[in-house]
A and B are shown apart, each in its own frame.
Chain A
Amino acid sequence: MIRVEKLAKRFGDVEAVRDVSFEAPDGKITGLLGPNGAGKTTTLRMISTLVRPTAGRASVDGVDTAADPLGVRAKLGMLSDARGLYTRLTARENIAYYGQLRGLPDAAIAASTEKLAGWLDLVPLLDRRTDGFSQGERMKVAIARAMVHDPRNIVLDEPTNGLDVMTTRALRDVIRRLRDEGKCVLFSSHVMQEVSALCDTIVIVAHGAVVAEGDPETIRAASGCDSLEDAFVKLTGAEEQPA
């Protein structure tokens, strides 16, 4: 379970995140939805402990990010905004490197790699060097790498960015499977359809603050709009451009 309370982050004069609070429970898919620059990536980075909040706090399974960053990282599988691979290593070696760094025995790494490769349709690619991989193939390796230790909490930053339809569908299946295994899945997207197709709970973020939270139907009803898309546009203030 991931819990975020009144998180804020300021970079110099820029207030990237002003006031973000939400809870992503186990066994549920939580979507962080917002336009580009709303503060989604910064929020996720604060959860992954790589960015220190200016105010507020975040915790993963009750472990505070400020108090025990390594403990939080151990409980988390994070597909970050940067997802570069080592192009001279094979897909399998890329995945194994993270498994070893997390202290997994070789047998566990091998088993985990097989399972994730099966889910992500990666098996024929495993022993090839990643430098010739397509964007979708690289993404799949990055996801497998982030989940090699079978984490209870999974954070995915815009995982469907730049993927074709087939890969996107495969990825959705994986996310649902993870939820069905009882994991906490938190993922961000700026594509409303993406979030509404997949999420149990949606958290809409705009200008660094949460503007709506709940299941898709609740959000639509609360906004007084006919469709979720209208609600999204209205809530994120995409109509009235702030000066």
Chain B
Amino acid sequence: MRSRTVIVLLKELRDALRDRRTALMVLFASILTGPLTLVLMGQYLSGLEEKASTLKVRIVGQEFAPPLVNFLQRADVDIEKAPADYEARIKDGTLDAVIVVRPDFHERFLAGDAAAVELVYDDSRTESQGAIRQAERLLRAFNRETGTLRLIARGVSPNLIEAVKVEHSNTATPRQKGAVLLVLIPLFAILSPILGGMTLAIDTTAGERERGSLEPLLANPVPAREIVLGKWLAAWTSASLVATLTLAGFVVAASFFAGKKLASLMQFGWPEFGLFIAFVLPLAAATAGILMLIATYGRTYREAQTYTSYFVSLVSFVPMVAIFTGLKDAFWQSVIPVLGQQMVLTRVLRGESITFLDWLMPAAVALLIAFTCVAVVSRLMGEERIVFGRS
């Protein structure tokens, strides 16, 4: 005899697959948006990177400042003459920053007066920041060089004006820089199983009751827990499927950057995919169970949708908190669902090694939650107020 749990599982999956509209919606909403966002963000960032790596300044009145031009040429900087309507261009965002040299620059420079240049920019545009900082840096470097030369000419050690000498040494590996960008993938890894399991979790509980098919279903000689287990397995399957496809989409999206400068930032290949799946599947078991438990209290599909949307908000809040409070890794986080996964997945992206124990704790907590939910829902399915609704 076939297991009755499997019969329920197969029926629910078949039923869900026939709902083309919802299936397509879930597919589109979760599987495409994530990787698409990654590609767009990547493009944007690689644009920034390019802007920053090719040294280029735009100058108005370069003929007035031969020493500055000389300095920039020595520093291998492309000098471009800015168009006359540069102010308007900066406003509409087609130009980032322009150095304006006054006609009296050279005269004052030779006299040793402060020779003013004007740096024109619009700092409300984040994408201009790189160019602005670059122009500032170059002007400061020119200042320092000129000042040093003048001090030496007067027989003063240049060390006098540089009390502290700052040497930069950035310990972040390219991968770790990438992890900052890739908060996106853990977020989707956590939310996609919820979106993927939601329809089934609601349809098999509140939906079943709204349709009037719950009472006849429970009148079959099958213990409620076998039915609930089958429904939960169906929700878990759907959640896992959507999560797997979403993460695979990220692998494909990240592969677009292979060979480019940004490839080092976008390291999300099949090994990382495998680790992510190992963490996300147990989490999906828990979220599917929680969604079912919440939805069981809904009298109608819509009511259950409202309840579960609170849960989704709560869950999407956790990674945000982790990101914005700059939480450091600690053991206690691993027993908190969602937060535990979020922290460890970020570590995966940072390229840190993950041990079996790192996996075990969050997975064990997630499965415990899942089975508790299944047990509670099974009990509720035997309660008159749940089966026949409250009035």
- Measured CB to CB, the residues of A under 8 A from B are 45, 48-52, 70-71, 73-74, 76, 78-89, 93, 97-98, 100-103, 129, 142, 145-146
CB-defined contacts of B384 to chain A, threshold 8 Å: 50-52
Given A51-B384, A146-B216, check contact A89 B1 (CB 8 Å): no
**Chain B residues closer than 8 Å to A145, beta-carbon distance:** 216
Question: Do residues B11 and A97 form an inter-chain contact, with CB atoms below 8 A?
Answer: yes
Please report the C-alpha to C-alpha distance between residue A199 and residue B215 in the assembled complex, in whole angstroms.
Answer: 26
| Stretch in B217-225, B245-253, B284-292 with 4+ CB within 8 Å of A | B217-225
> What is the CB-to-nearest-CB distance from A98 to chain B, in angstroms, rounded to a whole number?
6
Given A50-B219, A70-B222, 11 more pairs with CB closer than 8 A: A48-B219, A49-B219, A50-B384, A51-B384, A51-B388, A70-B221, A82-B212, A84-B208, A88-B15, A101-B7, A101-B217
A106's nearest neighbour on chain B, judged by CB, is B2
Distance to closest chain A CB from B279 (angstroms): 33
Please determine whether B211 and A84 come into contact, CB atoms closer than 8 angstroms.
yes
- Tell me, rounded to whole Å, the shortest Cβ–Cβ distance linking A100 to chain B: 5
Which B residues lie within 8 Å of A84 (CB)? 208, 211-214, 216
- Tell me the total A-B contact number using a CB cutoff of 8 A: 77
Q: How far is the CA of A76 from the CA of B218 in the complex (A)?
A: 13
Given contacts A70-B223, A71-B221, A73-B220, contact A50 B212 (CB under 8 A): no
Residues of the A chain whose Cβ atoms lie less than 8 Å from the Cβ of B4 = 100-101, 103
In the complex, which of the residues B7, B19, B211, B218 contacts A97, with contact meaning CB atoms closer than 8 Å? B7
Given A50-B384, A97-B11, A80 and B219 contact (CB-CB distance below 8 Å): yes
- Could you give 8 example pairs across A and B, Cβ below 8 Å? A45-B388, A50-B384, A73-B219, A80-B215, A81-B215, A84-B211, A100-B4, A100-B7
Shortest distance between the CB of A159 and any CB in chain B (Å) = 13
Q: Counting CB contacts under 8 A, is B328 at the interface? A: no
Least distance between A134 CB and chain B CB atoms (Å) = 16
> Would you call B387 an interface residue if the criterion is a C-beta within 8 Å of the partner chain's C-beta atoms?
yes
CB pair B7 A78 closer than 8 Å: no
Closest to A41 in B: B388
A50 touches B213 (CB 8 A): no
CA distance in complex: A142, B216 (Å): 9
Please give, as numbers and ranges, the residues of chain A lying within 8 Å of B215 by CB-CB distance. 50, 80-82
Cβ of B14 within 8 Å of any chain A Cβ, yes or no, is: yes
